[in-house]
Amino acid sequence: MSSVKGILAAIATPFDEDENLVEAALRGHVRRQLDAGIHGIFALGTNGEFYAQTPAERAEAARIVIDEVGGAVPVVIGAGGPTTKKTVAIAEDAAAAGADALSIITPYFAAASQDEIAAHFRAVAESVDVPVIVYNIPARTGNAVAPATLEKLAEVDNITAVKDSSGNFDTILQYLERTDRGSFDVISGNDSLILWTLIAGGAGGISGIANIYPKTMASIYDLFLAGDPEGARTAQESIRPIRNCLALGNPNTVVKHAANVREFGLGPARAPFNALSDEAKTTIEETVIADVEHGLA
């Protein structure tokens, strides 16, 4: 896979009440995305609660997803870790499992210089023979990939894309300005910026909201590609109410609760990131009911 185009669903990892992975629910959720016309599957990212799972659990989930997709669409596996050594081990395993590409988050918790960040990504890219996607989410990791650093990383043969979840559109624009749009993909990791990223020349989006409304999210790209910018904008703007709900708690918990309102069976997020107030639950439930009545799917 040399490029990432369209909308990739950043799928949640289903757990039962004892926090065990539910294979049937994971397979069902993957199938739901494929049936909705999603353009790719992104597993074990932030929405997939990679940070709450052991390497063995991540390896099991990756293999289930890859098997269920069966080559129908590209599969990107989140393979990041806090150190280079740990990341290389996870990346090598995911590549061996058959991932089409790997998403590598910046090192987290400890502060890293831009030279250290660049060295980290180069080392991981050299350890595997599949494409590597740089994942920039500084609010979660404390480490941002500067545009100048990304420009250098884009010169590495198998570093082929960046997923930007900073929420700063100017960062996306600078990434686009500093990379070759013919050989390097800039992807929005923020659902609210997908259409605007496409308009600016980006390749698409990796969507957490696809866990709730996969058809709606896929349609943003499909309508844009079909030359219907107004239709794409309508679809893009339709997710604002559920996006506003993300402020009500841990976003993963909000997404899972909203998907469960739709009876998708994703279970809870892992503790301690699994508590929502009764008021928050009611707001999420009312939002989902209203969205579905307005045609979101």
Which residue numbers are catalytic?
A: 135, 163
Q: Which residues does residue 135 pair with via DSSP β-bridges, in sequence order?
A: 105, 163
Q: How far apart are CA 203 and CA 175, in angstroms?
A: 12
Q: At what angle do helices 251-261 and 278-293 cross, to 10 degrees?
A: 50
Rounded (5°) CA angle 290-295-297: 100
The three-state (H, E, C) secondary structure of 89-136, written as one string = HHHHHHHHHCCCEEEEECCCCCCCCHHHHHHHHHHHHHHCCCCEEEEE
What number of helices (H) and strands (E) belong to the chain? 13, 8
Binding residues: 206
Closest CA to 214 of 187, 193, 242: 242
**Residue 164 contacts residue 134 (beta carbons within 8 Å):** no
Cβ proximity of 78 and 45 under 8 Å: yes
CA 43 to chain centre: 7
d(CA 129, CA 32): 30
DSSP 255: H
Q: Which residue ranges are tagged as binding site for pyruvate?
A: 206
